[in-house]
Structure 1
Amino acid sequence: MHTLHITSTTTVDGVVQREFTVGDLTGALWSAADVAGPAPLVLLGHGGGTHRTAPAMVGRARRLVVDGGLVAASLDAPGHGGRPRTAYDERETDAMQEAMEAGEPVGPIVVRYNGVISEQAVPEWRTVLDALLQLPDVDGPVGYYGINMGTAVGVPLIVAEPRIRAAVLGQFWPDTLVPLARRITVPIEFDLQWDDQHIDRNAGLELFDAFASTEKTLHANAGRHKELPRFEADSAVRFFVRHLRAGSL
């Protein structure tokens, strides 16, 4: 069993943010300052090129804690945040940048690179989940919330991890994820940008359709890839409260 070590603690407006390590993995955990008992946990998968405490992660975590009474945790993906970058990471990020500058499709590169990241990230998340569930203020059931690269990691993680009982996903290509999505039956909320310049809407619909969940909801919004409305984070909180907190609406 790997031990979780708290490296720093800060409190802002009633939310405690704890930076932690598990071995050489770097993560962050958010919980209420006035903890009355253990709360269900939501794992946050960040997008490509960001990190565990990127603004989107902090914003989503605070909503989950303040509005949902939940606990949230994020983990730096391989080659991101506090994790070392390899020569392979540099080559792939350079290739993505060159494709975008040339107006060429970036999807094949992202799918390939994120697939490599997910192979390493899935067992890492499972190790960290074991450690998090040993904390006195963290309990199951567990949810997963990850858009973009967070979905590339989240889909195989949900397949591998039976403790995850509900997930918010979206904005990723179906190429390698459809066979895995067909094995997923937990409730799903799926975000799709109707005018995404990178992911064709039919590709997004193909991935949504592949989930075998009997309860799954598609949230399609007008806008481009990085224009996901912030109110979708509020919807995600309600979704996780409904599925992780027994007796809640």
Structure 2
Amino acid sequence: MVGRARRLVVDGGLVAASLDAPGHGGRPRTAHDEHEIDAMQRAMEAGEPVGPIFVRDNGALAEQAVPEWRTMLDALLRLPEVGGPVGYFGINMGTAIGVPLLVAEPRIRAAVLGQFWPDTLVPLARRITVPIEFDLQWGDEHIDRHSGLELFDAFASTEKTLHTNAGRHKELPRFEADSAVRFFVRHLRATA
């Protein structure tokens, strides 16, 4: 996250803020967090699909994180040096949090998302009309192509771009971060 934020600030001239998801980064884990982590690890070791576990767990995280993001935005946008407009950059779990956040938060004007299952997000994505840049790994061992394309297709945005790259789930190319900077400069600095 620090690397992405640095690129947005240094290369894009934007202001960036990051918020650890509940139970992640320096935030304490709950018994529920530990249970879900154990379930994911057991599924991976057994070669079973992890999607249902991630969808369930990340949905619960989003319920906690969306109000936190909105509170952070309230505080940041009161600062004269921050102002607006606002973008959102979240891949994987960041998409699980970002999609419901975009529905709840009209101040977000553009988003970079990707690499998450469509299961619970499609109905929400159909309500999102801001410009979207969406990343998808063509050889993702967890999220099959059809599922990734289903989520991308669900966004109601008239401007949405799909970036597909060869590789597995954790192999999203670094140059996609450069593309995200250009995307946000185009959509946020042009309207500032």
- TM-score bin (small chain): over 0.9
CA deviation profile, 1:89-127 (whole Å, cap 9, x unmatched): 000001001100111000000000000000010011000
TM-score when scaled to structure 2?
0.98
1:28-82: CA deviation from partner (whole Å, max 9, x where unpaired): xxxxxxxxxxxxxxxxxxxxxxxxxxxxx11111111111100110001111122
Report the counterpart of residue 23 of structure 1 in structure 2. none
Does the alignment pair 1:203 with 2:147? yes
2:45 alignment partner, one of 101, 114, 117:
101
Matches within 5 A, 1:23-102: 57-102=1-46
Instruction: Work out which of the two has the higher radius of gyration on C-alpha atoms and give 1 or 2.
Output: 1
Paired residue total: 192
Counterpart Cα distance in 2 of 1:247 and 1:160: 21
Q: Secondary structure at the match of 2:17?
A: strand
Structure 1 residue 136, shift from structure 2 partner: 2.7
Q: 2-side partners of 1:232 and 1:81: how far apart? A: 23
* Code of the aligned partner of 2:85: P
Q: Is the 8 A contact 2:12 2:181 kept in 1?
A: yes
Per mean C-alpha deviation after superposition, the further-off stretch among 211-220 and 82-91 is 82-91
Report the counterpart of residue 187 of structure 1 in structure 2.
Answer: 131
Question: Is the strand fraction higher in 1 or 2?
Answer: 1
In the alignment, what sits opposite 2:79? 135
Structure 1: which 5+ runs fail to align?
1-56
Partner of 1:110: 54
Between structures 1 and 2, the one with greater helix share: 2
Distance 1:160 1:119 in 2: 11
Aligned to 1:159, which of 70, 78, 103?
A: 103
**Please, which of 204, 207, 219 is the counterpart of residue 163 of structure 2?**
219
The alpha carbon displacement at 1:183 in A equals 0.1
Separation (CA, whole Å) in 2 of partners of 1:194 and 1:247? 33
| One-letter amino acid of the counterpart of residue 103, structure 1 | G
Give the aligned residue type for 2:93: M
Amino acid at match of 1:163: R
Kindly report the root-mean-square deviation, in angstroms, between the aligned alpha carbons of the 2 structures: 1.0
Residue 16 of structure 1 aligns with which residue? none
TM-score by length of 1: 0.76
Instruction: Look up the match of 1:234.
Output: 178
